[in-house]
Structure 1
Amino acid sequence: MNDSSYILKEIKRIVMEQDPSAKIYLYGSRAKGAAKKESDWDLLILLNKNEITREIEISITYPLYDLEFDTGELISPMVYTENEWNTKYSVTPFYHNVMNEGKLI
């Protein structure tokens, strides 16, 4: 079962198991409703932490890659702290794109 609602539910379940306070944004063609069969799942994952260690990043991304393997869907997660996202990246076109067109899941 590789329908969108199943994949979104699994993405949310996986991330919330690791960090229940995480915010997950879907952005790109899937958020815009313009996805094709081969489109990836662009994810921005924001954590309410002071820093993201390699271990924290792995604890979130590796289970998503398992989902990718199980479903055959390409999942592209980016993981940042909320503070890092809202300060360091707030001046970038990427930030404005995600905040304007992304969907919080």
Structure 2
Amino acid sequence: MGLRIHFVVDPHGWCCMGLIVFVWLYNIVIIPKIVLFPHYEEGHIPGILIIIFYGISIFCLVALVRASLTDPGRLPENPKIPHAERELWELCNKCNLMRPKRSHHCSRC
């Protein structure tokens, strides 16, 4: 199963994403200039700590992009539900399909 890109035009989502990217950029540009680089120049911290900081920061941005663009998937229209799990599923009032409780599986839900 490959990575499927899921792109939704949502103004509120873009606003939240913009805020997150702004905070990330602030932490990746301003904070090292104020905290990390002065301590490195004075010899209080090793250089590997700065490399680890930037590595973790890039990992966080990659995880955010992957989580934001990955398609959450769809439920099959006629799922075969084992009897032991039937109490964990309910009938959708709008499209009359079985779905797990607290899930939204169609545009009408």
With normalisation by structure 2, the TM-score equals 0.29
**Larger helix share, 1 or 2:** 2
**Larger strand share, 1 or 2:** 1
With normalisation by structure 1, the TM-score equals 0.30
Name which one, 1 or 2, has greater alpha-carbon Rg.
2
